[in-house]
């Protein structure tokens, strides 16, 4: 080997090392960038329609569970007991789903703004949720009781009754409660495209409307 030529070898080796290192840096950079920028479905924020619905509907559902548990203590009627268990377990399960969404979305269970605020925001088609309101005024006022929610006095009244009067009163309260629940579920359907939320809300609308009809029949039988 010619000693004068050998100095060239480290040069080309360095070149190769340089290319490899450069390629590595570029590859690592691209992979990191791709990993960071990979399409991640954005999750609803704390003041989103979805989060507002998930909090308010939990409150709403948990009262339906409470009313149903009260009735189970106040009647032996098989039909009404089964209805109460149906509503209680279905709504407790759904409340758990909404609780888990908030947890997964990384937003607090506690509301950062008054309840029902999300229902006063514009709908997907830009219109306001103003049915029932006067002169285009929204029928929902942030911080006011949710539609269909029973008052503390009404719950106390239910606890004081037994037998058919308890059944009738439960049905009255629950029919109003379901009508309000359908209203809230419809409000989120008008404002959200989140698949999990809209799927649950659609089920609520359908099931609760069916149950309203059934409860009206049961109520008429007790008149």
Partner 1 sequence: MAPSDTPEPVLPPSAKKLTVKQEREARRQAKVEQFRKQQARAKRNRIVAIVLSSVAALAVVALIVTVVISNATPKRDPADIDVAGVQTWDDLEYVHTDGPVDYEGQYGMNPPAGGSHNPAWLNCGIYTEEQQNESAVHALEHGAVWVTYNPDELDEADVDALRSQLPDSYIILSPYPDLDAPVVASAWAAQVKLDGVDDPRLGDFVEKYWQSPDVPEAGALCTRGIDGPGKVA
Residues that bind partner 1 (CB under 8 A): 3-4, 6-11, 13-14, 16-17, 20-21, 23-24, 27-28, 31-32, 34-35, 38, 79, 82-83, 85-86, 89-90, 93-94, 96-97, 196, 199-200, 203-204, 206-207, 209-211, 213-214
Q: Which of 206, 148, 209, 194 is nearest to 54 (CA)?
A: 194
Q: H/E/C letters for each residue in 56-100? A: HHHHHHHHHHHHHHHHHHHCCCHHHHHHHHHHHHHHHHHHHHHHH
Nearer to partner 1, 111 or 197 (CB): 197
Residue 212 CA to residue 194 CA, distance in Å, equals 26
Please report how close the Cβ of residue 78 comes to partner 1 at its closest, in angstroms: 8
The residue (of 21 and 162) whose beta carbon lies closer to partner 1 is 21
Residue 80 CB, nearest approach to partner 1 (Å): 10
CA geometry: angle at 76 spanning 73 and 82, to 5°? 85
Report the nearest approach of partner 1 to the CB of residue 189 (Å): 14
Q: How far is the CB of 164 from partner 1 (least distance, A)?
A: 18
Q: Which residue has the tokens 């002169």?
A: 135
Least CB distance to partner 1 at residue 63 (A)? 17
Least Å distance between CB 106 and partner 1?
19
What does the alpha-carbon distance between residue 147 and residue 102 come to, in Å, rounded to a whole number?
A: 22
What does R_g of the chain's alpha carbons equal in angstroms? 29
Distance between CA atoms of 171 and 64, rounded to whole angstroms? 11
Nearer to partner 1, 62 or 196 (CB): 196
In 3D, which of 46, 63, 38, 181 has the Cα closest to residue 101?
Answer: 46
Q: Looking at beta carbons only, is 20 or 162 nearer to partner 1? A: 20
Task: Name the DSSP class of 200.
Answer: H
Closest to partner 1 by CB, 153 vs 195, is 195
Residue whose CB is less far from partner 1, 13 or 156 = 13
């Amino acid at each position: 080997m010619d000693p004068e030529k050998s100095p060239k070898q480290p040069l080309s080796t360095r070149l190769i090392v340089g290319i490899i290192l450069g390629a590595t840096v570029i590859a690592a950079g691209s992979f990191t960038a791709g990993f960071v920028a990979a399409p991640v479905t954005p999750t609803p924020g704390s003041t989103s329609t979805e989060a507002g619905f998930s909090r308010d509907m939990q409150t709403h559902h948990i009262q339906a569970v409470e009313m149903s548990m009260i009735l189970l203590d106040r009647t032996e009627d098989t039909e009404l007991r089964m209805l109460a268990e149906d509503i209680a377990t279905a709504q407790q399960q759904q409340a758990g789903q909404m609780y888990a969404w908030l947890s997964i979305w990384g937003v607090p269970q506690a509301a950062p703004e008054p309840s029902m605020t999300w229902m006063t925001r514009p709908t997907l088609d830009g219109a306001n949720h103003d049915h029932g309101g006067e002169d285009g005024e929204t029928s929902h006022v942030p911080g006011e009781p949710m539609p269909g929610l029973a008052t503390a006095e009404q719950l106390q009244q239910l606890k004081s009754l037994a037998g058919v009067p308890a059944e009738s009163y439960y049905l009255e309260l629950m029919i109003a409660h379901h009508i309000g629940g359908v209203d809230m579920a419809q409000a989120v359907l008008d404002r959200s495209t989140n698949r999990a939320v809209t799927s649950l809300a659609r089920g609520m609308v359908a099931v609760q409307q069916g149950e309203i009809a059934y409860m009206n029949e049961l109520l008429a039988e007790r008149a």
